[in-house]
Chain A
């Protein structure tokens, strides 16, 4: 059973930069896993931030960026703002039509 790993929590200061990661229990993440990132605030449906590793969804500010860092997918937020405080989830395509979510990262801005 494939497990996708994310940091459970992270903290960043307003204006700071933070990088959240998304790993695979069975090896390295590559662009062929088509990493995508979503954020979710309480009581709301998730919203797409990044897809296909590094493509920003429509309307997403350019302070959000995606990449592959080492053997993981990464979401970097530069110039963090208070309303970036949210849960962030990555999803990886693992083949044969199957997708797996990471456990999510709770980002605190303080």
Chain B
């Protein structure tokens, strides 16, 4: 069964950083793009950024430029999302989602990771 498995719930204080991981289970996503999407409480989905299969190219939504870093470790089949200088409005569920190249859609989704930013 194909799954994207994300790391667990995080609680952070304002100004801190958070790293969320995403690994594939049941398949190898070394040839897939991996996107990050978040959803604040009671709000819609928001695309954050994407990393290409070799892990050498990233694209970020303008809103997150300078605060967001997406990396991947091909040896462990894991992708990481780091968001810096957290604010209370970064409180959200963060999802990873994979895209088979040249399909331009999010085929498999992780279960989501709740990140709470609170003093």
A residues sitting closer than 8 Å to B (CB atoms) are 1, 34, 36, 38, 40, 45-48, 51-52, 57, 87, 89, 91, 93, 96-104
Contact = CB atoms under 8 A, between A and B. Distances in A.
Contacts of B68: none
B47 A100 contact: yes
A48 B62 contact: no
B61 A45 contact: no
Contacts of B95: 45-46
Chain B interface size, under 10 / 10 to 19 / 20 to 34 / 35 or more:
20 to 34
B44 A52 contact: no
Specify which of A40, A45, A96, A103 lies most central, judged by the most chain B CB atoms within 10 Å of its CB.
Answer: A45
Given A36-B106, A101-B44, A45 B112 contact: yes
A33 B45 CA distance: 18
A42 B57 CA distance: 33
Contact of A101 (B46, B50, B59, B109): B46
Contacts, number: 60
Interface of B: 35, 37, 44-47, 50, 57, 59, 61-62, 95, 97, 103-107, 109-112
Contact of A91 (B47, B103, B107): B47
B102 to A, nearest CB: 10
Main SS of chain A's interface residues? Answer: strand
A91 B106 contact: yes
7 contacts: A46-B37, A46-B45, A51-B104, A52-B103, A91-B106, A99-B35, A101-B47
A99 B105 CA distance: 10
B2 to A, nearest CB: 11
Contacts of A97: 50, 57, 59
Contacts of A48: 105-107
B59 A98 contact: yes
Contact of B50 (A46, A89, A99): A99
